[in-house]
A = this chain, B = another copy of it.
Amino acid sequence: MTTASEIAREGTLRAARRETARTALLNATAGILSEATQIEASLSEISRRSGVNSAMIKYYFGDKQGLLMALLEREAEREMSGLDALVAMDVSAERKMTIHVEGIVNAYYRSPYLNRLVHYMVEAGGPEASARVSDMFITPMMAAYRQIVAQGVREGTMVDVDPALLYYALVGAADHIFFAAYSVPTTLGVAKVDVGIKQAYATLLRDLFLRGLRPDKD
């Protein structure tokens, strides 16, 4: 005889298994993209790494585009909830900018495929994918920058810069050392960006975006 609580437990287990397979597929895809220089991940490789049958990709995500969009959404949720919390913190605008610069460099260090995946989804996915990517990443970041800059202007530590231009400058700078990873042996004389270089880069960007935005004293 099956009780109501057994049915409920069975449902919870199914949901947990579903979540595990889904997460395993997303983690495997993130791993593959982190090692690649392009957005190239074969279904068989994702299946092999995750230990999940490739038929389940169709079941959970529809197709590979759906899987990639889900990966992007997972990243966006993580980064954007952090950004919301940052904006709401009771600290100075310069402190918020410092934390954000470090956060964005860390995000690209951890997921070097992030900007490439955004670009790929927009290119390959058409207007609907473009709109989703905008809603996920660009609109919340613009809103956060607008608030941080307004606070900095009130505190006398920032000029009234267009948040959109600030967005391009900061995201472009933070991403490029990871995007152009092929050039790191030539420029820095090492095989790849390590944690020390990542930290030095975050420090440089912090200096550029804090000092560079301060109003003239005279």
Binding site for B on A (CB under 8 A): 37-38, 119, 122-123, 130, 134, 138-139, 142, 159, 161-162, 164-177, 179-180, 182-183, 186-188, 197, 200-201, 204-205, 207-214
Q: In the complex, A168 Cα to B172 Cα: how many Å?
A: 9
Are A167 and B142 in contact, CB atoms less than 8 angstroms apart?
Answer: no
21 A–B contacts from the bound complex (CB under 8 Å): A38-B123, A119-B179, A134-B183, A142-B186, A159-B207, A162-B188, A165-B177, A165-B197, A166-B204, A168-B187, A168-B201, A169-B201, A169-B205, A169-B208, A172-B179, A172-B180, A207-B213, A208-B208, A208-B209, A208-B213, A210-B212
Q: In the complex, A184 Cα to B167 Cα: how many Å?
A: 11
* A217 closest partner in B (C-beta): B217
Taking a contact as CB atoms closer than 8 A, the residue among B139, B186, B205, B209 that contacts A139 in the complex is B186
A161 CB contacts on chain B under 8 angstroms: 204
Are B186 and A176 in contact, CB atoms less than 8 angstroms apart?
Answer: no
Are B172 and A177 in contact, CB atoms less than 8 angstroms apart?
Answer: yes
Q: How far is the CB of A121 from chain B (nearest CB, A)?
A: 10
Are B168 and A176 in contact, CB atoms less than 8 angstroms apart?
Answer: yes
* A190 closest partner in B (C-beta): B164
A171 CB contacts on chain B under 8 angstroms: 176, 180
